[in-house]
Chains A and B, each alone.
Chain A
Amino acid sequence: MTVTVTWYLVLAAALFSMGAAGVLIRRNALIMFMSIELMLNSVNLTFVAVSKHLGLIEGQVAALFVMVIAAAEVTVGLAIIVAIFRFRSSANVDELSELRG
């Protein structure tokens, strides 16, 4: 029983689906944000698995760049959540339906 690239792709698809479900189902902005991180991670897994499959190192370079984007996104997103929390005392996205401060 050898591990083929298909196994990794199926695992990545499962993780991505869970992340998408998390964005849809959760109300806490922090957990929605964690779900986005899970989706980025599963895409990284796809990149690296296909990189191994095709014998191209570019997939791993792309995975590193995705990590850079994710790090930048986390800093800005968490700053936005903290800034909203200061004004509204809430991390619940359903309470942020108005387009005013």
Chain B
Amino acid sequence: MAEAIVFIIFALVAIAGGLTMLTARNPVYAAVGLLSTMFAIAIMYVLLDAHLVAAVQVIIYAGAVMTLFLFVIMLIGVDRAQAYGDRPLIQKAMTGVVAVGFFATLVLAGREVWVTGSDAFGTPDLNGTIENVAKELFGNWTIVFLASVMLLTIAAVGTIALAHFPSGEEDGAS
């Protein structure tokens, strides 16, 4: 019962954060809405006994990614970004229809056994502690882990390459 109450409260927080992100004119408000959604999802992970994933969610998403977003919003300038008008009403209505239809399709598909798998099997008291996740991560998934390390290195190098502008080039293109 307590689990249900916590779930309902934080599901509402997550949906409210998502709607804030969808409708806010100011990008900073959108970022704060997404931040609350991410915290609510971290609570969901705790409810699902995925403790390591919950910690990583808070550290990486709420900590690093959203800080980076807010930093770029400040770099670009808030008032400049909010000056543009939104989509016309017909596009908003069509997007609403598409989103609701997509949601209904997902929910209907989730009722089918071939999408979600059959009934629960294996250990019902699965506990996502660091030890359990690390055994799997560094056991069966070592190659994928090393590939992700390589991916992060490539992403860092690519970001530096994108951010590097020689001083002569800047004048010509603008």
Co-complex (A, B)? yes
> What residues make up the interface of A, taking CB atoms closer than 8 Å to B?
1-3, 5-11, 13-22, 24-28, 30-31, 33-35, 37-38, 41, 44-45, 48-58, 60-61, 63-65, 67-76, 78-83, 85-87, 89-92, 101
**Does more than half of chain B's interface fall in helix, strand or loop, or is it mixed?**
helix
Residues from chain A with Cβ under 8 Å of B132 in the complex: 57
Secondary structure of the A contact surface, majority rule: helix
Count of chain A to chain B residue pairs whose CB atoms are closer than 8 Å in the complex: 237
Closest to B82 in A: A28
Q: Please name the residue on chain A nearest to B7 by beta carbon.
A: A3
B1/A41 in contact, CB under 8 A: no
Q: Are A15 and B18 in contact (CB under 8 A)?
A: yes
Report whether B173 and A56 are in contact in the complex, using a CB–CB cutoff of 8 Å: no
Q: Are A37 and B68 in contact (CB under 8 A)?
A: no
Interface pair B34/A37, CB less than 8 Å apart: yes
Complex A-B: 30 CB contacts under 8 Å: A7-B7, A11-B11, A13-B110, A15-B37, A17-B100, A18-B18, A18-B21, A18-B99, A20-B98, A20-B102, A21-B22, A24-B98, A30-B72, A33-B69, A37-B61, A37-B65, A41-B37, A48-B48, A48-B128, A49-B44, A52-B49, A54-B117, A55-B123, A56-B122, A57-B133, A64-B56, A65-B148, A67-B57, A81-B76, A86-B170
